[in-house]
Amino acid sequence: MPDETVTRSMIEDAATRVAGVVRPTPVYLSEGISKVAGRPVLLKPEQRQRTGSFKIRGAYNKISQLDPATTPAVVAASAGNHAQGVALAASLSGIPATIFMPDNVSLPKLQATQDYGAHVVLVSGTVDQAIKAALDHAAGTGGVWVHPFDDPKIIRL
Protein backbone atom coordinates (compact mmCIF):
# COMPACT_ATOMS: atom_id res chain seq x y z
CA MET A 1 0.00 0.00 0.00
CA PRO A 2 1.45 3.39 -0.91
CA ASP A 3 2.09 5.86 1.88
CA GLU A 4 -0.67 8.43 2.00
CA THR A 5 -0.84 11.42 4.26
CA VAL A 6 -4.22 11.70 5.88
CA THR A 7 -5.50 15.24 5.40
CA ARG A 8 -8.22 17.21 7.10
CA SER A 9 -10.36 17.08 3.96
CA MET A 10 -10.03 13.28 3.88
CA ILE A 11 -11.25 13.14 7.48
CA GLU A 12 -14.14 15.48 6.69
CA ASP A 13 -15.11 13.41 3.62
CA ALA A 14 -15.00 10.23 5.69
CA ALA A 15 -17.14 11.79 8.41
CA THR A 16 -19.74 12.76 5.82
CA ARG A 17 -19.61 9.27 4.26
CA VAL A 18 -20.25 7.44 7.54
CA ALA A 19 -22.73 9.94 9.00
CA GLY A 20 -25.81 7.95 8.01
CA VAL A 21 -24.37 4.68 9.28
CA VAL A 22 -22.71 5.38 12.61
CA ARG A 23 -24.47 6.53 15.73
CA PRO A 24 -23.35 9.87 17.10
CA THR A 25 -21.63 9.30 20.43
CA PRO A 26 -21.03 12.03 22.96
CA VAL A 27 -17.69 13.13 24.32
CA TYR A 28 -17.64 13.79 28.02
CA LEU A 29 -15.17 14.78 30.69
CA SER A 30 -14.25 12.07 33.17
CA GLU A 31 -13.69 13.95 36.40
CA GLY A 32 -12.20 10.96 38.23
CA ILE A 33 -9.70 10.03 35.52
CA SER A 34 -8.89 13.70 34.94
CA LYS A 35 -8.05 14.07 38.61
CA VAL A 36 -5.69 11.07 38.53
CA ALA A 37 -4.11 12.19 35.24
CA GLY A 38 -3.71 15.78 36.35
CA ARG A 39 -5.31 17.04 33.16
CA PRO A 40 -8.67 16.87 31.41
CA VAL A 41 -9.47 13.39 30.06
CA LEU A 42 -12.32 13.05 27.61
CA LEU A 43 -14.15 9.77 26.98
CA LYS A 44 -16.20 8.74 23.95
CA PRO A 45 -18.43 5.70 24.53
CA GLU A 46 -18.05 3.98 21.17
CA GLN A 47 -19.49 0.77 22.62
CA ARG A 48 -22.84 2.41 21.74
CA GLN A 49 -22.19 1.85 18.02
CA ARG A 50 -24.25 -0.71 16.14
CA THR A 51 -21.35 -3.16 16.22
CA GLY A 52 -20.31 -2.32 19.76
CA SER A 53 -17.10 -0.52 18.81
CA PHE A 54 -15.62 2.26 16.70
CA LYS A 55 -14.48 -0.23 14.04
CA ILE A 56 -17.59 0.32 11.91
CA ARG A 57 -16.32 3.83 11.14
CA GLY A 58 -13.17 2.87 9.25
CA ALA A 59 -14.61 -0.32 7.79
CA TYR A 60 -17.58 1.52 6.29
CA ASN A 61 -15.40 4.39 5.07
CA LYS A 62 -13.25 1.96 3.10
CA ILE A 63 -15.81 -0.58 1.93
CA SER A 64 -18.46 1.95 0.88
CA GLN A 65 -15.97 3.38 -1.62
CA LEU A 66 -15.63 0.03 -3.41
CA ASP A 67 -17.72 -0.77 -6.47
CA PRO A 68 -19.95 -3.80 -5.77
CA ALA A 69 -19.97 -4.59 -9.50
CA THR A 70 -16.19 -5.05 -9.61
CA THR A 71 -15.43 -6.16 -6.05
CA PRO A 72 -15.93 -9.92 -5.67
CA ALA A 73 -15.70 -9.73 -1.87
CA VAL A 74 -13.94 -8.11 1.02
CA VAL A 75 -11.67 -10.18 3.22
CA ALA A 76 -10.60 -9.48 6.79
CA ALA A 77 -9.22 -11.15 9.89
CA SER A 78 -10.17 -10.36 13.45
CA ALA A 79 -11.06 -11.77 16.82
CA GLY A 80 -14.21 -9.69 16.94
CA ASN A 81 -14.64 -5.93 16.71
CA HIS A 82 -13.08 -5.41 13.28
CA ALA A 83 -14.87 -8.53 12.04
CA GLN A 84 -18.24 -7.10 13.02
CA GLY A 85 -17.45 -3.70 11.51
CA VAL A 86 -16.37 -5.24 8.19
CA ALA A 87 -19.35 -7.60 8.14
CA LEU A 88 -21.86 -4.80 8.65
CA ALA A 89 -20.10 -2.38 6.28
CA ALA A 90 -19.95 -5.02 3.55
CA SER A 91 -23.60 -5.92 4.02
CA LEU A 92 -24.67 -2.27 3.82
CA SER A 93 -22.50 -1.82 0.71
CA GLY A 94 -23.81 -4.90 -1.09
CA ILE A 95 -20.46 -6.70 -1.11
CA PRO A 96 -19.90 -10.22 0.25
CA ALA A 97 -17.50 -10.54 3.19
CA THR A 98 -15.30 -13.41 4.25
CA ILE A 99 -13.86 -13.00 7.73
CA PHE A 100 -11.11 -15.21 9.15
CA MET A 101 -11.29 -15.58 12.92
CA PRO A 102 -9.25 -17.62 15.40
CA ASP A 103 -11.09 -20.76 16.44
CA ASN A 104 -11.08 -19.61 20.07
CA VAL A 105 -13.05 -16.43 19.26
CA SER A 106 -15.83 -15.61 21.70
CA LEU A 107 -19.14 -17.08 20.60
CA PRO A 108 -21.04 -13.77 20.81
CA LYS A 109 -18.51 -12.08 18.49
CA LEU A 110 -18.63 -15.02 16.08
CA GLN A 111 -22.43 -15.00 16.07
CA ALA A 112 -22.64 -11.23 15.63
CA THR A 113 -20.22 -11.36 12.68
CA GLN A 114 -22.33 -14.05 11.03
CA ASP A 115 -25.55 -12.18 11.85
CA TYR A 116 -24.19 -9.13 10.01
CA GLY A 117 -23.93 -11.33 6.93
CA ALA A 118 -20.30 -12.41 6.74
CA HIS A 119 -19.04 -15.85 5.87
CA VAL A 120 -16.73 -16.79 8.75
CA VAL A 121 -13.76 -19.12 8.41
CA LEU A 122 -12.34 -20.33 11.72
CA VAL A 123 -8.57 -20.74 11.81
CA SER A 124 -6.66 -22.80 14.34
CA GLY A 125 -4.31 -20.55 16.29
CA THR A 126 -4.04 -16.83 16.84
CA VAL A 127 -5.16 -13.70 15.05
CA ASP A 128 -1.78 -13.72 13.27
CA GLN A 129 -2.59 -17.10 11.72
CA ALA A 130 -6.05 -15.80 10.78
CA ILE A 131 -4.45 -12.77 9.10
CA LYS A 132 -2.11 -14.99 7.09
CA ALA A 133 -5.00 -17.20 5.98
CA ALA A 134 -7.08 -14.13 5.08
CA LEU A 135 -4.26 -12.58 3.04
CA ASP A 136 -3.74 -15.87 1.18
CA HIS A 137 -7.49 -16.08 0.53
CA ALA A 138 -7.66 -12.49 -0.74
CA ALA A 139 -4.69 -13.05 -3.05
CA GLY A 140 -6.21 -16.26 -4.41
CA THR A 141 -9.71 -14.93 -4.97
CA GLY A 142 -9.18 -11.29 -5.87
CA GLY A 143 -10.98 -10.19 -2.72
CA VAL A 144 -10.15 -6.79 -1.26
CA TRP A 145 -8.16 -7.03 1.97
CA VAL A 146 -9.53 -4.80 4.72
CA HIS A 147 -6.75 -4.23 7.23
CA PRO A 148 -7.89 -3.54 10.81
CA PHE A 149 -5.81 -0.35 11.12
CA ASP A 150 -2.93 0.05 8.66
CA ASP A 151 -4.87 1.75 5.87
CA PRO A 152 -5.47 5.49 5.37
CA LYS A 153 -9.17 4.84 4.67
CA ILE A 154 -9.50 2.96 7.96
CA ILE A 155 -7.57 5.34 10.23
CA ARG A 156 -9.23 8.53 9.03
CA LEU A 157 -11.91 8.30 11.69
Domains of the chain: 55-155 (3.40.50.1100)
Q: Give this prediction's pTM.
A: 0.90
pLDDT over 50 (residue 1): no
Give the rounded percent of residues in the chain with a pLDDT score beyond 90: 89
pLDDT over 50 (residue 68): yes
* Residue 90 contacts residue 96 (beta carbons within 8 Å): yes
Print burial letters for 112-122: b (CB count within 10 Å at least 16), e (below 16): bbeebebebbe
Query: Which residues contact residue 93 at a Cβ distance below 8 angstroms, ignoring those fewer than 6 apart?
Result: 60, 63, 64, 66, 68
Question: What was the pLDDT predicted at 129?
Answer: 97
User: Distances in Å between the alpha carbon of 115 and those of 70, 83, 90, 140?
Assistant: 24, 11, 12, 26
pLDDT over 50 (residue 20): yes
